[in-house]
Each structure stands twice: as structure tokens, then as C-alpha cells.
Amino acid sequence: MSLTHLQSFVAVAEEGHVGRAARRLHLTQPPLSRHILALEDELGTRLFERTPRGMRLLPAGETLLCHARRILADVDTAVRTVRNLSTRERSTHPES
């Protein structure tokens, strides 16, 4: 499980389409498809139903989507918090 896999998963879930999600992520279809397959393999269950139109979330996928969004948002918050903290520290106590 990696953040890259989770980002890929959310993009495919939101687009319902590997091709569009790949464009959105500036990737090609095959690696993105592999991310989803790896995730399904690791979790031991299918996350999407493959339809002729694209990908539709299955119940396990719906559940993962909630968790994935929260995790990715928390990572974003963590990065921005620590960055802001260090910026403020630098402007308050300049060292040079």
C-alpha cells in the first residue's frame, strides 16, 4: 500500500475510467491499471466492477474511497502544517 496507489485509486473512482484518470494524473493507462490491480491483490478483493463503459465502484471500493480521501487529505495537511511552521519560525528567528 502506497500513497501513489491511493491517489490512483481515488482518481479512477472519481473518473470511472482508467484512461481519463491516467490523463488527469499525467500517466498512461498501463501503470495506472497496475496500481488498481496491485491494490485489489493486496486487499484480497475487487474494488471495481469492469463494465464496457469503464470502472464502477463495488462496495469494498466505496469503503476504501472514504478512507483514502481522508488519508490523502491528512497527508496534505501534515505537509502544509510543518512547512508553515518552519516558515514562520524562520521569519521570527532569522538565523543569518
Partner DNA sequence: GGTAGTTACGAATTTCGTAACAATC
Partner DNA sequence: GATTGTTACGAAATTCGTAACTACC
The one segment of 25-33, 58-66, 67-75, 81-89 that binds DNA by CB under 7 A: 25-33
Q: Where are the alpha helices (DSSP H) in 28-58?
A: 29-43
d(CA 64, CA 70): 10
29 binds, among a second copy, DNA, none (CB under 5 to 8 A by kind): DNA
- Specify the long-range contacts of residues 20-23, CB closer than 8 Å, at least 24 apart: none
Of positions 24, 29, 60, 72, contacts DNA by CB under 7 A? 29
Q: Residue 28's binding partner, choosing from DNA, a second copy, none, with beta-carbon cut-off 5 to 8 A by kind?
A: DNA
Backbone angles phi and psi of 57, in degrees to 5: -60, 135
Give the closest residue to 48 by CA, choosing from 1, 72, 15, 70. Answer: 15
Tell me which residues in 66-95 interact with a second copy (CB under 8 A). Answer: 67-68, 70-71, 74-75, 77-79, 81-83, 85-87, 89
- The site for DNA (CB under 7 A) is made up of 2, 4, 17-19, 26-31, 33-37, 50, 52-55
